[in-house]
Amino acid sequence: MSKPDVAAERKDQIVRATVDCITKHGYHNFSMQDVARTAGVSKGIIHYYFLNKDDLMMSVLDKVSGDIENIIAADMESISSPIEKIKVFIAVAFDIVRSTKEYYQVNMDFWTQINQKKEVRQVVSRHYAKFRDSCAKVIEEGVKQGVFRQVNPQHQASLILATVDGVSLQWLFDEAVYDYTEIVKTASESLLNNLVVK
């Protein structure tokens, strides 16, 4: 294995350990020692790869959001129908909350930082823009094909993301508030009905 590969693997190991620590202790309550222990490395190794805790946190945010983007892109890749693509986008976005809850919780912890740290606001904003653009392209394609109503694709993409976030946050705060599978079905049908030409 070449040195760049080893470096990339070590950085990924540290970032994943940080995700675990944030999930267990919260954004404000974990230490670099916690990360070192979880990753099985020394604190010196962490500082070799990351300038400081903020630098590490930006890498974590990029990793979490990038993983979600990759899952959505891979699941839509082989589908040609805009209706089926948007169904997959919505389903995967909702499922990420349930299947990789720790990633979503880390994302929520970052949201608490957007008023204190400009860099966090920029990174979160950049990733939301990628999600919106990915969704909007599918909607635009459906509008052009005449299977979706004449809508503003960016607005509809924002509405879809807002619905996913709103439903998911309520469930993460209190899993007894509703049956997640049922509410996802209802929300998905509502979002599709708002788009698809009848």
CA–CA separation, 153 and 142 (whole Å): 10
For the residues 180-189, what does the mean pLDDT come to? Answer: 95
The model's pLDDT over 75-111, given as tens digits with 9 standing for 90+, comes to: 888 899 999 999 999 998 898 877 766 666 777 777 7
Distance CA 74, CA 60 (A): 21
Q: Is 98 in the same domain as 6?
A: no
- With a pLDDT cut of 90, the percent of the chain lying above it is 44
Residue 94 and residue 82 share a domain: yes
Above 70 in pLDDT, residue 186?
yes
pLDDT value for 56: 85
pLDDT score for 90: 94
Domain of residue 184, residue span: 53-195
Residues 191, 90 contacting (CB under 8 angstroms): yes
- Residue 178 and residue 159 share a domain: yes
Question: Counting Cβ atoms within 10 Å, is residue 62 exposed (0-12), middle (13-18) or buried (19+)?
Answer: middle
Predicted confidence at residue 119, as pLDDT, reads 78
Tell me how far apart the alpha carbons of residues 152 and 158 are, in angstroms, rounded to a whole number.
10
- pLDDT at position 148: 98
pLDDT the model gives residue 189: 97
The counts of H helices and E strands in the chain are 9, 0
pLDDT at 1 over 70: no
Higher pLDDT, 4 or 9: 9
State the total domains in the chain: 2
Are residue 36 and residue 116 in the same domain, yes or no?
no
